[in-house]
Amino acid sequence: MDGLTLKKLLKKADEGGYAIPSFNYSDIWDFMAIVEAAEEEGAPIMIASNPLVVKAIGADCCGAFGTAAMKRAKIPLVHLLDHSFTVEMCEDCINNNYPSVMIDASKYDLETNIKYVNEVMALAKPHNVHVEAEVGKIKGKGIEGDFKGGDFLVQVEDAAELVKRTNVDSLAIGIGSAHGFYQGKPQLNFERLNEVNHAIDTPLVLHGGTGIPREDVQKAIKMGINKVNVGTIIHCTYMNSVRAELNRVGDNAYTLDVMSAVKENIKNVVKEWIRTCMANGKA
Ligand code: 13P
């Protein structure tokens, strides 16, 4: 599996009117649950480690595990470094066989954003690694800190300029989605999504999937979103299930027993999201 395959998967999704879901993992247990769910749904998916996970486990271990899992998976599975804020971490993951990386320099001005994206493109392309960038901002609380309202919305001309000067493979856009849980119903700016989609051919990515109603996700897919990121609901299902299972089993719980119950809960969430993205049966 390499970045060229991902390009084909995203194109196929675009033509087929569905999106490739990308799920954030924290360790091997939710990783395994996500892959098993995708295999049972017959869905092509991406599986992503954010910088906190890469720092905690190491790009070498994440990369080795991801490589083995991609080889073994019965569905197209693409490992991704999500939201790297540094070129160095992208380089580390490229050197450890990640087929795709995201450089998130959206907090900088457009020129600086373009500069960082080009640096990552130069490192990635000799290895056929797929690169995602971000224009506009994803709201909410996340690894990048709190971002509350304000100037989050992607500017169409910024998206077009970044794509023209970097030739980046896919683009996350700020259209009102947020990392973490939403307070109230998320307000996505579909008009802006439509404008960006008409201005550029690059596959578009919706971040902050958790909490966006199914009909809004599907509307966004119809309007040009090709990849949907889901994280918070995976982490929360994981932790809440561990707590519930430990309470049920009591003392002296054995890891494998607890985790097989936990995995079933994570799998159910992943399957729901695969169906929301209409990616079931598309492997
Ligand atoms: P959520 O945590 O809100 O689902 O967003 C995930 C995400 O966008 C990861 O990049």
In which region does residue 129 sit, left (phi positive, over 0), alpha (psi from -120 to 50) or beta (all else)? beta
Give tens-digit pLDDT for 25-81. Answer: 999 999 999 999 999 999 999 999 999 999 999 999 999 999 999 999 999 999 999
Report phi then psi at 167, rounded to 5: 60, 35
For residue 150, what pLDDT is reported? 63
The pairing of strands 139-142 and 145-147 is antiparallel
- The model's pTM is 0.96
Structure confidence at residue 112 (pLDDT): 98
User: Tokens in use for 105?
Assistant: 């320099």
Token code pair at residue 279: 């990616």
Half-sphere exposure of 122 (CA within 13 A, CB side): 9
**Residue 135, beta-bridge partner list:** 173
How many Å apart are CA 3 and CA 23, to the nearest integer?
Answer: 17
Kindly give the distance from the C-alpha atom of residue 254 to the centroid of ligand 1, in angstroms, as a whole number: 31
Q: What's residue 233's pLDDT?
A: 97
Does residue 142 carry a pLDDT above 70? no
Listed in sequence order, the DSSP H helices in 108-189 are 110-124, 156-166
**β 20-24/204-206 pair status:** unpaired
pLDDT digits (tens, 9 = 90+) for 147-168: 665 678 999 999 999 999 999 9
Ligand 1 closest atom vs CA 235: 2
Task: Among 232, 269, 272, 273, name the best residue to mutate to test ligand 1's pocket (greatest count of ligand atoms within 8 A of Cβ).
Answer: 232
The pLDDT, as a whole number, for residue 202 is: 97
User: What whole-number distance in Å separates Cα of residue 78 and Cα of residue 83?
Assistant: 16
